[in-house]
Amino acid sequence: MAGTVSSTPGEADVAPGEAVQTHYSAEEIYALLPHRYPFALVDRIIDYVPGKQATGIKNVSFNEPHFQGHFPCRPIMPGVLIVEAMAQVGGIVLTQIPGVDGLCVFAGIDKVRFRRPVVPGDQLIMTVELLAIKRLRFGKMYGRAEVDGQLACEGELMFSVVEPIPTVGQTSC
C-alpha cells in the first residue's frame, strides 16, 4: 500500500482487472531513469513484477567507450559498470513503487562477487529482486547478472531516495 512503512516489499497498487506492464523498451526506460549515454546501461526490461523484481538486458558492444582502455588487447566490461547496470534494473522496480519520489542512488553494496568476465558480444541478463524497503526512502535489493546461463556477477545493492531531480526541459539541474 502506498505511503506505508514496510520492512518487506509488497505489491504495487493495481486495480482489479488492470493490465500490468511487464516489459519496457529503451524509450520507456529513459522516461523512468535519468541515466543517459554513456551511462544508460539497460537496453530493455523483459520481465517486471510490480514491487518485487525486474529482469533487464544489456547488449554489450565493442563500440562502448570503456573498452578503449579496459583493456585494449582484451576488452572486459568493468565490474563497476556491471553493478551499475544491475542497479539501473533495480531503479525500475523502485521508481514504480507508489510514494517513491526522487532520485534512487547507491547507499552501499555488499557481498558482490564477479564469477566470469563480460566481453563484447555478450548479452548480460540481470535480475534484481527487492528484499526490503523502509519509509519509501531506503531500499535493499539482490542482483544477479548472467551471460549464456552462467553467473557473471551477484550481490546486494542498497539505495537511498534523494530529492526529486528536474525533468527534461527545466533550465537547472
pLDDT tens digits, residue range 124-140?
999 999 999 999 999 99
Asked whether residue 91 is assigned to any structural domain, the reply reads yes
Active site residues: 70
**The pLDDT of residue 163:** 85
Asked whether residue 158 is assigned to any structural domain, the reply reads yes
Asked whether residue 34 is assigned to any structural domain, the reply reads yes
| Residue 4, pLDDT above cutoff 60 | no
DSSP string of 51-72? Answer: TTEEEEEEE--TTSGGGGTS-T
39 φ, ψ (degrees, to nearest 5): -105, 10
Cis before 120? omega within 30 = no
DSSP E strand boundaries for the chain: 44-49, 53-59, 103-114, 123-134, 138-147, 150-162
Asked whether residue 18 is assigned to any structural domain, the reply reads no
CA distance 47 to 67: 29
> CATH no. for residue 40?
3.10.129.10
| Residue 5, pLDDT above cutoff 70 | no
* Cβ atoms of 114 and 151 closer than 8 Å: no
Asked whether residue 8 is assigned to any structural domain, the reply reads no
Query: Per the structure, how many domains does the chain have?
Result: 1
Q: Considering only 5-9, 59-63, 116-120, which range has the smallest mean pLDDT? A: 5-9
What average pLDDT does the chain have? 89
The model's pTM is: 0.86
| Residue 66, pLDDT above cutoff 80 | yes
**For residue 74, what are the domain limits?**
26-162
Asked whether residue 44 is assigned to any structural domain, the reply reads yes
The percentage of the chain sitting over the pLDDT mark of 90, rounded to a whole number, equals 80
pLDDT tens digits, residue range 147-165?
999 999 999 999 999 987 6
**The pLDDT of residue 7:** 42
DSSP class of 167:
P
The percentage of the chain sitting over the pLDDT mark of 70, rounded to a whole number, equals 85
For residue 26, the surrounding DSSP H or E stretch is helix 26-32
Cis before 62? omega within 30 = no
